[in-house]
Structure 1
């Protein structure tokens, strides 16, 4: 099965569609910095969501590159690349995907395209930060042959962009047990077949939806720590 997943640069028209997806298929704390007030998508929180993206991406001097994730013709989430001020040549990647589209391989396809976009933009590496409990993200990263580092509740990974892109990664199904090319080191990586009764490694187990493939993409603490 070929997943029709594309990343489109955020613009004003897509921002409206992205807000519609967020309010219908995600929790505010998963996709934007905290806003005071009652829980849920209040009018104030929706306005803050749009202001946030306009101030960081839709400006003459953007702080980060934001892409809207489209599956077929449906907006399902967003991905970003933010240059790290203290690590020249490195961008932090972030992604969120609506609940109804998690666990179907969209996250892996988005990561492949995001790495390509980072490479084209001239970055030498991509940094990812997520939580220890977000095992859906861990599986996507380890399927790429990436080593994870844990420090308390934070799990991080760094992906070098030196290697060639893995051919057919976005538009080919992953076959458990088949050799897979590691785009970082050029060595084949075998994706093991899951034990009987367990889902493939890019499918979250029941109840493990995470907040999207690369964790809380717009967590304010992460912005303040790394300038993203």
Structure 2
């Protein structure tokens, strides 16, 4: 492996896992290592492997709780600032006139569902983002559409969380390989420059031919 490649990999490893200088120095003191890019990479690898092991152990310990939480449907909630805007978007239904009244009703409904064993996950609905979603999907604003929007946001959040967990379980070598490949992705600008140059040369060639034809006709 060339030094430039090792240098790049060490930088990626360091950026992937923040290395505290004091803890790194303690690790160097405890191990027969000299401060260098390879040693920093090995230290970062140990940190990531430890975190991945802890995450896997936590997931296994709380697996049933996590699986149960993933089934909880979304319950849209609003801030006092967003609520008047949400009211302005409401086309159907009869929502409470004030945020305080809505909040008291929401807490009472949530408590009743808990007594029945029906748990939910609160999801904040931003008025601006919800309005954009309505414009893109063209439904009327109602309690049902707000719940649907909140559920979509919750599903996206859960998907990102699952992706992060899956990435944390990847072997370090594979994670470093993916990060290196991403950092070495070719830029589209050289290809665009070549394309522009080719069009320019073609235009010059066409102009030259037209001038030659005009010159021959004049003769």
Q: TM-score range by the shorter chain?
A: under 0.3
TM superposition score normalised by structure 1: 0.22
More helix by percentage = 2
TM superposition score normalised by structure 2: 0.22
More strand by percentage = 1
